[in-house]
Chains A and B, each alone.
Chain A
Amino acid sequence: MDDALLSIENLTVTYDTLAGPVTAVDDLSLAIGPGRAVGLVGESGSGKSTVAGAVLDLLAPGAAIDGGRIRFEGTDLASHDRATRRALLGRRIGSVFQDPFTSLNPAIQVGDQIAEPMMVHLGVGASEARAMTLERLDEMGFARPAEIAGAYPHQLSGGMKQRALIAAALACEPKLIILDEPTTALDVTIEAQIIDLLERLRTEKGLSYLFISHNLGVVRRVCEEVYVLYAGRLMERADTDALFDRPSHPYTRGLLASLPRLQPPHRVKRLSTIPGELPDLLAPPPGCIFEARCPFSAEGCDRPQTIRVAGVRQMTRCHRHAEIAGEAWPSRARLGHDFSRKGFGDALVNVVGLKKRFRMGGLFAGIKLKPGLPPRIVNAPPVVKAVAGIDLVIRPGEVVGLVGESGSGKSTLGRLLLRLEDPTEGAVEYDGLAIERLPQRALRPFRKEAQIVFQNADSSLNPRKTVGETLRRPLALFGIVPARERAKRVGDLLEMVRLPRAYATRYPHQLSGGEKQRVAIARALATEPKFIVCDEPVSALDVSVQAAVVNLLADLRDELGLSYLFISHDLAVVAQLSDRIAVMYRGTFAETGTADQVLSPPFHPYTLVLLASAPRVDGSAMPDRSALLRDAAPGAGAPDGDGCPFFARCPSRIEGTCDELPPPRRTPAKGHAIACHLKLDALPTRFVPAAPAMGAAPGAVASAGPE
Chain B
Amino acid sequence: MAEASVDLEAAPIAPRRRARRRPLPSSLVAGGLVFAAIILVAIFAPLIAPYPFDEMHIRDRFHAPSLTYLAGTDEYGRDVFSRMIYGARLSLFMGVLATLVSLVIGVPLGLLSGYMRGAVDEAVMRILDIMMAFPPIMLVLLIITLTEPSLWKTSVAVGFLFVPAIARLMRSVCLDLAGEEYVLAARARGEGASYILLREILPNAWPPIIVEGSLRVTFAILLAAVLSFLGFGIQPPAADWGLMIAQARGYIERAPWIVLAPGLAMCVTVVAVNLFGDGLREYLDPRMSARRG
| Contact sample, A vs B, 12 pairs, CB 8 Å cutoff | A24-B293, A275-B9, A275-B12, A447-B188, A456-B181, A462-B200, A498-B10, A500-B12, A510-B19, A511-B17, A520-B185, A552-B9
B2 to chain A, nearest CB (A): 11
A637 CB–B CB distance under 8 Å? no
Instruction: Say whether A498 contacts B184, CB under 8 Å.
Output: no
Chain B, Cβ-Cβ closest to A512: B14
Q: Do A273 and B8 contact each other (CB < 8 Å), given the known contacts A464-B203, A510-B19?
A: yes
Q: Which residues of B contact A447 (CB under 8 A)?
A: 188-190
Is the CB–CB distance between A559 and B1 below 8 Å?
Answer: yes
Q: Is the CB of A459 within 8 A of B180?
A: yes
Identity of the chain A residue whose Cβ is nearest the Cβ of B22 in the assembled complex: A18
Could you say which of B22, B184, B188, B293 has the most chain A C-beta atoms within 10 Å of its C-beta?
A: B293
Contact of A273 among B9, B122, B191 (CB under 8 A): B9
Bound Cα distance A161, B60 (Å): 78
A496 on interface, CB distance cutoff 8 Å? yes
In this complex, how many residues of chain A approach chain B with their Cβ under 8 Å: the count is 66
Total A-B contacts with CB atoms under 8 angstroms apart: 119
Question: B1-38: contact bitstring with A at CB < 8 Å (1 yes, 0 no)?
Answer: 10110011111111111111011000000000000000
Inter-subunit contact A282/B18 (CB<8 Å): yes
Q: With A363-B122, A456-B181, A462-B204 as known contacts, state yes or no: A474 contacts B18, CB within 8 Å.
A: no
- Beyond the given pairs A415-B184, A470-B182, 13 more chain A to chain B contacts, judged by CB atoms under 8 angstroms and listed by A's residue number, are A17-B293, A18-B22, A19-B18, A334-B3, A363-B126, A448-B190, A459-B180, A477-B190, A495-B4, A498-B10, A509-B17, A510-B19, A520-B185
CB-based nearest A residue for B123:
A363
Q: For residue B126, which residue of chain A has the nearest CB?
A: A363
Q: Is the CB of B17 within 8 A of A454?
A: no
Q: How large is the interface on B (under 10, 10 to 19, 20 to 34, 35 or more residues)?
A: 35 or more
The answer on a CB contact under 8 Å between B189 and A451 is yes
Given contacts A18-B23, A498-B11, A509-B20, contact A362 B181 (CB under 8 A): no
Q: Does B292 contact A (CB under 8 A)?
A: yes
Q: What sequence of 0s and 1s flags, for each residue 490-523 of chain A, a beta carbon within 8 Å of any chain B beta carbon?
A: 0000011011101100100111101100101001
A22 is an interface residue with CB less than 8 A from chain B: yes
Most chain A CB neighbours (cut-off 10 Å) among B9, B180, B200? B9
Expressed in whole angstroms, the minimum distance between the Cβ of B235 and any Cβ of chain A is: 45
The CA-CA distance from A657 to B179 in the complex, in Å, is 41
Flag whether A444 is at the interface (Cβ < 8 A): yes
In the complex, the answer to whether A498 meets B293 with C-beta atoms within 8 Å is: no
Does any Cβ of A come within 8 Å of B187's Cβ?
A: yes
Q: Closest A residue to B200 by CB, please name it.
A: A462
Contact B188 A452 (CB under 8 A): yes
Q: Known interface pairs A500-B13, A552-B9. Does A452 touch B4 (Cβ–Cβ under 8 Å)? A: no
From known contacts A275-B8, A277-B14, A512-B14, infer whether A420 and B189 are also in contact, taking CB-CB under 8 Å.
no
Question: B9 and A515: CB pair below 8 A?
Answer: no
Given A19-B20, A451-B188, A495 and B12 contact (CB-CB distance below 8 Å): no
For the complex, what is the distance from the CA of A499 to the CA of B7, rounded to whole Å? 11
- Over the window 526-548 of chain A, the binary record of Cβ atoms lying under 8 Å from chain B Cβ atoms (1 yes, 0 no) is 01000000000000000000001
**A408 near B: Cβ within 8 Å?**
no
List chain A residues, Cβ under 8 A from B190. Answer: 440, 443-444, 447-448, 477
CB neighbours of B12 from chain A (8 A): 275-276, 500
Q: Is A461 an interface residue (CB 8 A)?
A: yes
Q: Which residue of B10, B182, B188 has the most chain A CB atoms within 10 A of its CB atom?
A: B188
- What residue of chain B has the Cβ atom nearest to residue A559's Cβ? B1
Q: Which 4 A-B pairs have the closest CB atoms?
A: A22-B293, A447-B190, A454-B181, A15-B293
Query: A150 near B: Cβ within 8 Å?
Result: no
> In the complex, what residues of B have CB within 8 A of residue A527's CB?
189
> For B19, what are the chain A residues with a Cβ–Cβ distance below 8 Å?
509-510
Chain B neighbourhood of A515, CB < 8 A: 11, 14
Q: Is the CB of A506 within 8 A of B16?
A: yes
Q: Are A420 and B187 in contact (CB under 8 A)?
A: yes
How far, in angstroms, from A332 to B1 measured CA to CA in the complex? Answer: 15
A281 at interface, CB cutoff 8 A: yes
Q: How far, in angstroms, from A94 to B208 measured CA to CA in the complex? A: 41
Q: Does chain B have a CB within 8 A of A418?
A: yes
Residue-wise, chain B 180-217 has the 8 Å CB interface mask toward A (1 for contact) of 11101101111100000000100110000000000000
User: How far apart are A477's CB and chain B's nearest CB, in angstroms?
Assistant: 6
For chain B residues 204-252, which have a beta carbon within 8 Å of chain A? 204
A443 cross-chain contacts in B, Cβ below 8 A:
190
State whether the Cβ of A141 lies closer than 8 Å to any Cβ in chain B: no
A420 to B191, CA, bound (A): 12
Contact status A454-B293, CB under 8 Å: no
Indicate whether A652 reaches chain B with its CB closer than 8 angstroms. no
Cβ–Cβ < 8 Å partners of B187 in chain A: 420
